[in-house]
Amino acid sequence: MLSIILTTSPILNLLLESWAWYFLEEVIILLKGVLRVDFYDNKEKYLFSKKVYANDIIMLVNGAHGFKVIKDIEIIEVKQGPYSLIKDKKKFNKIDEKKIKIK
* Within-domain flag for 55: yes
Q: How confident is the model over 60-77, as pLDDT tens digits? A: 988 889 999 999 999 998
Domain of 72 in residue numbering reads as 11-94
Nearest Cα neighbor of 26 from 70, 63, 1 is: 63
89: phi then psi, degrees, rounded to nearest 5: -135, 145
Stated pTM of the model: 0.75
Q: Considering its fold, how many domains does the chain have in total?
A: 1
> 4 lies in a domain?
no
Q: What is the pLDDT of residue 61?
A: 85
- pLDDT tens sequence across 5-64: 455 567 666 555 554 545 568 899 999 999 999 999 989 999 999 999 999 999 998 888
Could you tell me if residue 77 is inside a domain?
Answer: yes
17 lies in a domain?
A: yes
- State the DSSP code for 54: T
Q: Residue 4: what pLDDT?
A: 47
- Asked if residue 100 belongs to a domain, the reply is no
Report pLDDT for 63: 86
Whether 6 is in a domain gets the answer: no
Beta-carbon count within 10 A of 32 CB: 13
Whether residue 103 is contained in a domain is answered as no
Domain contains 33: yes
